Structure 1
């Protein structure tokens, strides 16, 4: 059953993720332009805050995709085969990713 799944949880929504990342990239270029044009500091900081929020949203969405696809797929495979090593690895990866997100 898990063999028919795409390799990554975000694969089915890849175009949407890329669209969001392009929008964030445009925001970063906008900040670059604002600094070049000596825009007011608070306006630049406001845009930086918006980018951080957008990146946090992407990160949480990708984490959700990982849990619902990769971890769930490993659990399903473990039910079929009885081996839990892949589940343990996927959970360690998710835990480490969460720890990195919480730090930032």
Structure 2
């Protein structure tokens, strides 16, 4: 995330807060392109199953799709660390570290 990206806190109609992150347009475009490609890979895997393609070939495609999703997660994590986490720490919000640990645990389960 660049310095111009800020996390905004908003409040929903029921009074709960939501957080937003603003990525530069080039990052959003890159992420969207990657996710569209992943969506196509998933459709391809479904087609392979329908066509009774050899199991090992399907597993290879699943592995490639998982790698692609991991790449998206890495981009988002980098932006989160350089933007959201740094901003919240500079504001004295150390709870972001606990949130970050939970995020790492979720990513490491995979």
Shared fold (TM-score, shorter chain, > 0.5): yes
Select the structure that is richer in helix: 1
1:94 shift after superposition: 1.5
The Cα offsets for residues 32-87 of structure 1, whole Å up to 9 and x where unpaired, read as: 001111111111000000011111111122111100010112233x2xxxxx1x2x
Select the structure that is richer in strand: 2
Please report the TM-score for the alignment, with normalisation by the length of structure 2: 0.76
Structure 2, unmatched stretches of 5+, are 8-20
Question: What is the count of residue pairs matched by the alignment?
Answer: 92
Counterparts of 1:82-97 in structure 2, within 5 Å, are 84=92, 86=93, 88-97=94-103
Identify the range of structure 1 (91-100 vs 46-55) with the bigger mean alpha-carbon deviation.
91-100
Asked if structure 2 preserves the Cα contact closer than 8 Å seen for 1:24 and 1:54, the reply is yes
Please report the TM-score for the alignment, with normalisation by the length of structure 1: 0.80
What is the alpha-carbon distance in structure 1 between the residues aligned to residue 50 and residue 73 of structure 2? 29
Q: CA RMSD in A?
A: 1.5
Partner of 1:5: 5
What is the alpha-carbon distance in structure 2 between the residues aligned to residue 33 and residue 55 of structure 1? 20
What is the alpha-carbon distance in structure 2 between the residues aligned to residue 89 and residue 15 of structure 1? 31
The Cα offsets for residues 11-43 of structure 1, whole Å up to 9 and x where unpaired, read as: 211111111011001000000001111111111
Moved over 2 A (4+): 4-7
